Amino acid sequence: MAVIDISNISIEFPTRRGVLTAVENLSLSIEAGEILGVVGESGAGKSLTGNAIVGLLEPPGHVTAGTILLNGRDITHLPESEMRKIRGAKIGVIFQDPLTSLDPLYTIGRQLTQTILTHKKMSHAEAKARAIELLNEVGIPAPEQRFDAFPHEFSGGMRQRVVIALALCCDPCLIIADEPTTALDVSVQAQIIDLLKNLSREKGVATMLVTHDMGVIAEAADRVAVIYSGRLAEIGDVRSVIDAPKHPYTRGLMDSIPQIGQNLKTLPNIIGAMPRLDARPEGCAFNPRCAKSKSICRQQTAPLIETGSDGQWAACWAYEGGNKYV
């Protein structure tokens, strides 16, 4: 059984000028110990999906259809009091900017023990021991001394380690990492990615790695889901998606990443831009930018269709005739 199993969820924002569908009919699942990379442009709906799982959608946004199962339990519409007990305990969240994720007025030790004591019945001394163990685990040197340090006394990379320690406090089964490396420099990025990879392998944590950086995906993810304009464009094993992308959007995305040794005069790009939520075209959202669009692409949204035997699926009419995801 998958740790997290999202099927056909839609997220809508009612506004004065009508309802905006930010995420539509999106399905994905993550197994224990697996890292699923979720890529897409800004505004594609990848962070929203993460927020929907932990029940932190900013109102008026809300899930209007579909189900979210955590270890088989439906958590789609849990009341806030129940959801709060899951957040931080079963699901750990890591946000983009470690510089602003920590409360500047409290020591990191206090923030760690506060989180632990909120979810677990233990004494303060036990919580402190656990916090130091966590700091050690995420690679903070001299954790006993650093326990009483304030966030501003840490570098960006170290702060992100603290944030990860906070997400791991109560041994979650799922970690949602929303752009965990975007605010960090490249060498620190690699360390944080390694850390996330090890945690997921050793502890069997399912990880949802939301990012727009294909390099990070290639480095860390087992599988990858590509989101375009609130819909899943393609999902599959990371090597197959990178080496043999099936959806025209994924293909364009891969082509636009320059490679060392490639002698290019201009960088290939995809003409046009992702449509705004209130101006999404009929049919496939990508059809105006797609060189191979057919008449059906302009009329009907393509379902996810299996493109091969290795579990790669693409929402593209080009593969019509293959197995359809229901």
β-strands 223-228, 231-237 pairing: antiparallel
Numbers of helices and strands, H then E, in the chain: 11, 12
For position 104 contacting another protein by CB under 8 A, the verdict is yes
d(C-alpha 171, C-alpha 106), whole Å: 23
Question: Given candidates 118, 182, 191, 301, which one binds another protein under the rule CB under 8 A?
Answer: 118
d(C-alpha 251, C-alpha 307), whole Å: 14
**Nearest CB to another protein, comparing residues 72 and 104:** 104
Overall residue count recorded for the chain in this entry:
326
On whether the CB atoms of residues 210 and 52 are closer than 8 A, the answer is: no
CA atoms within 13 A on the CB side of 28: 34
Buried b (16+ CB within 10 A) or exposed e, 108-133: bbbbbbebbbebeeeeeeebbebbbe
Selection from 228, 216, 160 nearest residue 37 by Cα: 216
For position 114 contacting another protein by CB under 8 A, the verdict is yes
Residues 38-67, one symbol each (x = binds another protein by CB under 8 A, - = not), give ----------------x-x-----------
Find the part of the chain contacting another protein (CB under 8 A) among 13-21, 166-174, 247-255, 256-264.
166-174
**Nearest CB to another protein, comparing residues 64 and 114:** 114
Find the part of the chain contacting another protein (CB under 8 A) among 18-26, 88-96, 130-138, 285-293.
88-96
For position 166 contacting another protein by CB under 8 A, the verdict is yes
Sign of CA dihedral 171, 174, 178, 181: positive
Alpha-carbon distances of 132 from 88, 142, 146, 273, 281, rounded to whole Å: 18, 9, 9, 47, 53
For position 97 contacting another protein by CB under 8 A, the verdict is yes
Buried b (16+ CB within 10 A) or exposed e, 3-31: bbbbbebbbbbeeeeeebbbbbbbbbbbb
- Partners of 208 in the β-ladder: 36, 176
Question: Given candidates 169, 193, 206, 305, which one binds another protein under the rule CB under 8 A?
Answer: 169
Find the part of the chain contacting another protein (CB under 8 A) among 10-18, 111-119, 120-128, 315-323.
111-119
Written as one letter, the residue type at 307 is T
Q: How far is the CB of 9 from another protein (least distance, A)?
A: 19
Find the part of the chain contacting another protein (CB under 8 A) among 8-16, 98-106, 236-244, 280-288.
98-106
Question: Given candidates 25, 37, 87, 252, which one binds another protein under the rule CB under 8 A?
Answer: 87
For position 85 contacting another protein by CB under 8 A, the verdict is yes
Q: How far is the CB of 296 from another protein (least distance, A)?
A: 41
Find the part of the chain contacting another protein (CB under 8 A) among 1-9, 68-76, 106-114, 203-211.
106-114
Tokens describing residue 244: 């043999």
Size of the site for another protein (CB under 8 A): 30
Tokens describing residue 97: 């900017």
For position 124 contacting another protein by CB under 8 A, the verdict is no
For position 150 contacting another protein by CB under 8 A, the verdict is yes
Find the part of the chain contacting another protein (CB under 8 A) among 115-123, 127-135, 272-280, 308-316.
115-123
Question: Given candidates 4, 30, 36, 102, which one binds another protein under the rule CB under 8 A?
Answer: 102
For position 86 contacting another protein by CB under 8 A, the verdict is yes
d(C-alpha 244, C-alpha 236), whole Å: 10
Positions that interact with another protein (CB under 8 A): 54, 56, 84-89, 93, 95, 97, 100-107, 114-115, 118-119, 150, 152-153, 163, 166-167, 169
